[in-house]
């Protein structure tokens, strides 16, 4: 028990730049108090002492402003920062090293008893202030949920979800698209705003052009392999240049 408490205090000192000492963390962090009381409530719940579990959870809510159902499963080194207004549902599962800010709801949208109504957060997930994660899906390891986001679908590991309804910020896909566009001499800087339909169409076009460029490169490789030792005049002179992606033309179109 003391080992886990030490671990909890250490993780708060690590993750909150405002935390100054172990004593301060032990005495002034409601997130820590809520988790310690939750462990007692959860132990009661698992032994079948349901009312006592609920009652401890109710006292914890009264003292900390954090409501954790005694049935919720919470891993190690979880940090609930500030905590006021946090609600964690019965079927919620929170993996190790997760961070949850004030006002977060890990709730459900269905009223079916016994079903997995609440989300699972895998290890290292960060849920920003006032975000709602609603449903029995999984938020993958290391994912981040932006403050005020409303998430109703699974979030892949390592992804960032923002907005209402939440969308995934495709950092990697955007970077690859930029690289492909840069190779073709086309600037995609103007088309990275997520929700604009014209921008979406342009992204599709650039992805498709990059795919074609790749296919053509493979074809040229195959043609030159096949034509080795054969007639060289079977490849029309200048054909490669003529088939090139017209980056300048595309740039003119979107100006």
Ligand X SMILES: CC(C)(COP(=O)(O)OP(=O)(O)OC[C@H]1O[C@@H](n2cnc3c(N)ncnc32)[C@H](O)[C@@H]1OP(=O)(O)O)[C@@H](O)C(=O)NCCC(=O)NCCS
Q: How far apart are the first and last CA of the chain?
A: 64
Span from 43-51, 85-93, 143-151, 226-234 in contact with ligand X (CB under 6 A): 143-151
In the bound complex, what is the minimum distance in angstroms from residue 196's beta carbon to ligand X?
10
Among candidate residues 63, 134, 47, 131, the one with its CA nearest the CA of residue 92: 134
Q: Does 193 bind ligand X (CB under 6 A)?
A: yes
Neighbours of 43 (CB within 10 A): 14
Q: Which stretch binds ligand X (CB under 6 A): 7-15, 58-66, 91-99, 141-149?
A: 141-149
169: contact with ligand X by CB under 6 A: yes
Single residue of 33, 144, 177, 203 touching ligand X by CB under 6 A: 144
Phi, psi of 57 (to 5 degrees): -65, -35
Q: In the complex with ligand X, which residue's Cβ is closer, 72 or 86?
A: 86
The rounded distance, in Å, linking the Cα atoms of 200 and 46 is 50
Residue 16 φ then ψ, to 5°: -115, 110
Minimum Å distance from CB 70 to ligand X? 26
Using the rule CB under 6 A, is 105 a contact of ligand X? no
| Residues 6+ away with beta carbon under 8 Å from 205 | 250
Please tell me the distance from the alpha carbon of residue 255 to that of residue 250, in angstroms, as a whole number: 9
| The binder of ligand X chosen from 76, 96, 147, 223 (CB under 6 A) | 147
Q: Are the C-beta atoms of 118 and 107 separated by less than 8 Å? A: yes
Residue 129 within binding range of ligand X, rule CB under 6 A: yes
DSSP letter (8 states) at residue 62 = H
Helices 50-64 and 30-46: crossing angle, nearest 10°?
Answer: 170
Residue choice 56, 66, 146, 151 for contact with ligand X (CB under 6 A): 146
Decide: is 148 part of the binding site for ligand X (CB under 6 A): yes
225 is a contact residue toward ligand X (CB under 6 A): no
Q: Give the number of residues in contact with ligand X, rule: CB under 6 A.
A: 14
- CA of 62: how far to CAs of 67, 68, 89, 136, in Å? 9, 11, 17, 27
Binding mask 75-104 for ligand X (x = CB under 6 A): -------x------------------x---
Which DSSP symbol is given to 118? S
Closest approach, Cβ 9 to ligand X, in A, equals 19
- Judged by CB under 6 A, the stretch of 26-34, 70-78, 144-152, 182-190 that binds ligand X is 144-152
**Which residues contact ligand X (rule: CB under 6 A)?**
82, 101, 128-129, 144, 146-148, 160, 162-163, 169, 193-194
């Amino acid at each position: 028990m003391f080992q886990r408490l030490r671990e909890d205090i250490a993780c708060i000192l690590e993750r909150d730049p405002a935390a100054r000492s172990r004593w301060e963390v032990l005495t002034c962090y409601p997130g820590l108090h809520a988790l310690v009381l939750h462990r007692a409530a959860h132990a009661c719940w698992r032994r079948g002492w349901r009312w006592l579990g609920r009652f401890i959870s109710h006292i914890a809510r009264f003292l900390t402003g954090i409501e954790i159902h005694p049935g919720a499963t919470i891993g190690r080194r979880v940090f609930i920062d500030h905590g006021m207004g946090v609600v964690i549902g019965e079927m919620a599962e929170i993996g190790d090293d997760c961070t949850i800010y004030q006002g977060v709801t890990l709730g459900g949208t269905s009223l079916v008893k016994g079903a997995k109504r609440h989300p699972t957060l895998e290890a290292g997930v960060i849920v920003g202030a006032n975000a709602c994660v609603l449903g029995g899906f999984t938020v993958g390891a290391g994912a981040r949920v932006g403050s005020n986001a409303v998430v109703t679908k699974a979030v892949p590991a390592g992804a960032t979800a923002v907005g209402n309804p939440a969308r995934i910020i495709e950092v990697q896909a955007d970077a690859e698209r930029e690289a492909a566009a840069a190779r073709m001499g086309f600037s995609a800087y103007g088309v990275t705003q997520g929700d604009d339909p014209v921008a979406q169409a342009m992204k599709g076009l650039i992805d498709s052009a990059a795919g074609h460029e790749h296919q053509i490169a493979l074809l040229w490789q195959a043609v030159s392999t096949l034509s080795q030792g054969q007639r060289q005049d079977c490849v029309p002179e200048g054909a490669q240049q003529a088939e090139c992606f017209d980056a300048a033309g595309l740039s003119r179109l979107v100006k």
